[in-house]
Amino acid sequence: MNKDRIGKENIKLLGYIGVIFLTIALSYKLPHDSYSLMQYMIKPIKHDNTVFYPSSIVTLVFVMIGVIGLASLERFKKRKLLVVLCTLFLLIPFMKWTIEITRTNYHSLMRDGIKSVDIEESNISLGNTDNDMVINFNLDLRDYSRHQNRFKIRVYLPESIRNLTGKKYYDLKQEYITDNKSTQKVHESMPFDNISGEEISHLTWYYEDVKYVLYNDKQSVSIIDHGY
């Protein structure tokens, strides 16, 4: 290839990598929020008991545009499959890692305290114990800093459950300690006083948002978990 073609190839190479990285960044979960920027730009569609996420399709399309574009470059014409595999299993995971390490370094430099703690996964379920209704909280916490953090958790339940119980929030019993990019699992249950399963069964609370507040004597941070 002559120099002009090489120059154009390099521009295309950087362009396709840029498309992939921008798509990954836009689809990455925001700090203290279960939505990504992509999901805010392209809202989930809820109908009856189903939810459709068009943002997932958009993400897939743009990633495939980048991957196919890289594989179509002249320099890779004899290694198309290898380029696709390396992009999917090496380049994209590396991009995600760079986003996470950037966040870790930021929180460590700023000494953000519990603001560096986030919820990676959350699950709320209802169950029965000795004929009483209980609500089960299962969370995966992650500390993005390199310092120890100690805090408790307050949960603002979905609006329909709050209206039924008359209780605005629940404080989880345990105090949690995280440090040095560690993860922490939360498993706690709390009873619903004088509430039957029949009263809750018709509610569509799982479509509603839940707010978690991590707090201690010095700080607090709110984390939003959007409904399905």
pTM of structure: 0.89
133 and 102: one domain? no
Does 18 have pLDDT greater than 70?
yes
- Our CA dihedral for 69, 75, 78, 84, rounded to 10 degrees, sits at -30
Of the candidates 89, 110, 131, which is a domain's last residue?
Answer: 110
106 and 182: one domain? no
DSSP per-residue codes, the chain: --HHHHHHHHHHHHHHHHHHHHHHHHTSBPTTBSSBHHHHHS--EEETTEEE-HHHHHHHHHHHHHHHHHHTSGGGTT-HHHHHHHIIIIIHHHHHHHHHHHHHHHHHHHT-GGGGEEEEEEEEEEEEETTEEEEEEEEEEEE-SSS-EEEEEEEE--HHHHHHH----EE-S--EEE-TT-EEEEEEEEE-TT--HHHHHT--GGGS-EEEEEE-SS-EEEEEE---
182 and 100: one domain? no
Q: Tens of pLDDT along 115-173?
A: 999 999 999 888 877 667 888 999 999 999 888 999 999 999 999 888 888 888 999 99
Q: Tens of pLDDT along 106-115?
A: 998 888 899 9
75 and 140: one domain? no
41 and 122: one domain? no
97 and 171: one domain? no
Print the domain residue range for 152. Answer: 114-225
CB 38 within 8 A of CB 27: yes
84 and 142: one domain? no
Instruction: Tell me what pLDDT residue 219 has.
Output: 95
Q: Considering Cα of 184, then 55, then 221, then 204, what sign does the dihedral take?
A: negative
78 and 145: one domain? no
Instruction: Tell me what pLDDT residue 1 has.
Output: 57
201 and 164: one domain? yes
Nearest to 165 by CA among 134, 187, 125: 134
Q: Tens of pLDDT along 190-227?
A: 887 767 667 777 778 888 999 999 999 999 999 999 98
Does 8 have pLDDT greater than 60?
yes
Instruction: Tell me what pLDDT residue 215 has.
Output: 98
94 and 74: one domain? yes
65 and 81: one domain? yes
Instruction: Tell me what pLDDT residue 2 has.
Output: 65
Instruction: Tell me what pLDDT residue 111 has.
Output: 87
CATH value at residue 215 = 2.60.40.10
Of the candidates 110, 127, 157, which is a domain's last residue?
Answer: 110
Of the candidates 43, 77, 110, which is a domain's last residue?
Answer: 110
79 and 38: one domain? yes
Question: Residue range 16-22: average pLDDT?
Answer: 97
Q: Tens of pLDDT along 72-119?
A: 999 898 899 999 999 999 999 999 999 999 998 999 888 889 999 999
Instruction: Tell me what pLDDT residue 116 has.
Output: 94
The domain tally of the chain equals: 2
